[in-house]
Amino acid sequence: MAYVRVFDNETQVAGAAAVIIASAILHKPNVILGLATGSTPIPTYRELIRLYQNGVLDFSRVITFNLDEYCHLPAEHACSYHYFMRKHLFENINISAGNTHLPNGNAPDLAKEGIRYDMAIETAGGIDLQLLGIGRNGHIGFNEPAEQFTYESHVADLTPSTMEANSRFFEEEDMPFQAISMGIGSIMSAKEILLIATGMDKAEAIRKSLQGDIRPQIQASILRTHPKAVYLLDQAAASQLDCSKA
Ligand code: GLP
The answer to whether residues 104 and 113 touch, using CB atoms and an 8 Å cutoff, is yes
Query: pLDDT of 68-101, one tens digit each?
Result: 999 999 999 999 999 999 999 999 999 999 999 9
Q: How far is CA 89 from the centre of its chain?
A: 14
Residue count of the chain:
246
Q: What is the pTM of this model?
A: 0.97
Which is the catalytic residue, given 82, 88, 139, 226? Answer: 139
- Give the closest residue (by CA) to ligand 1 atom 1: 38
**Confidence check: pLDDT of 172 > 90:** no
Cβ(60)–Cβ(96) below 8 Å:
yes
- What does each C-alpha distance from 88 to 31, 140, 168 come to in angstroms? 20, 20, 18
**CA distance linking residue 214 with residue 211, whole number of Å:** 9
CB of 142 sitting under 6 A from ligand 1: yes
Are 75 and 85 a contacting pair, CB within 8 Å?
no
Query: Is residue 236 lining ligand 1, measured as CB closer than 6 Å?
Result: no
- For 3-181+215-233, CATH number out of 3.40.50.300, 3.40.1180.10, 1.20.1260.10, 3.40.50.1360 equals 3.40.50.1360
Domain spans in the chain, listed from the N-terminal domain onward: 3-181+215-233
Contact between residue 213 and residue 149 where contact means Cβ atoms under 8 Å apart: no
Report the pLDDT value the prediction gives residue 243, as an integer from 0 to 100. Answer: 82
**pLDDT tens-digit profile of 155-170?**
999 999 889 888 888 8
Tell me whether strands 178-181 and 68-70 are parallel, antiparallel or unpaired.
antiparallel
Q: With bands split at pLDDT 50, 70 and 90, how would you rate the model's confidence at 171?
A: confident
Which residues are CB-neighbours of 185 under 8 A, at least 6 positions away? Answer: 118, 151, 152
58 in catalytic set: no
| pLDDT tens-place string over residues 11-26 | 999 999 999 999 999 9
List 144, 154, 166, 234, catalytic entry: 144
